[in-house]
Amino acid sequence: MKKAVSSTRGSAAKGKAVAKSNAKVKTVDEYLAGVPEPARSTLDKVRAAIRSVVPPETTEVISYGIPTFKGKGMMVSYAAFTNHCSLFVLSGSLLESFKDELKGYQLSKGTIRFPVDKPLPVTLVKKLVRARVAHNAHRKQR
């Protein structure tokens, strides 16, 4: 997987993100270094699950101040906030198709919120990311 430096267009949730001055970070590792425990360990697990299923040409970038996986378009992003972590699958319809597996999580417009000390199950993250990769591949073929 490729690493890339992306633009710093500002934070996805200004004033709420945990990482200090996350709009200025240039790499995912810098972002994660600014996230306190236990959220950092939680995001490390989410990141590892994502990395295990994305295509090799996928890049990790900072977009809107948060870590994002990009390949044939934006795939998924994740971030730590004061009281929760989020996985942004960037598709409300994708979340709808996984609604039974996502019971118990707070959802909104392509976003899943979960506790800072309890990562999403690895198998669920992998299913979501695979579905997002397939969605992007299909969209680019049209």
Report the DSSP beta bridge partners of residue 60: 3, 69
Domain borders along the chain are: 2-128
* pLDDT greater than 90 at residue 98: yes
**26-53 as b/e: b if 16+ CB within 10 A:** ebbeebbebbeeebbebbebbbebbeeb
| Tens of pLDDT, residues 65-93 | 999 999 888 999 999 999 999 999 988 88
12-71: pLDDT as tens digits? 443 356 655 555 899 999 999 999 999 999 999 999 999 999 999 999 999 999 999 998
- For 2-128, CATH number? 3.90.1150.200
Provide the pLDDT confidence category of residue 115 given band limits of 50, 70 and 90: very high
Q: Please, are residues 52 and 119 in contact by the beta-carbon 8 Å criterion?
A: no
Name which of 25, 14, 18 is nearest 40 in CA terms: 18
Which pLDDT score, from 0 to 100, does residue 15 have?
37
Contact 107, 41 (CB under 8 A): no
Strand order across the beta sheet in which 85-88 lies: 2-3, 59-63, 66-70, 74-80, 85-88, 111-114, 106-108
Residues 105-114: tens digit of each pLDDT: 999 989 999 9
Could you give the count of Cα atoms lying within 13 Å of 30 in the half-sphere of its Cβ? 18
Q: Which residue has the higher pLDDT, 6 or 132?
A: 132
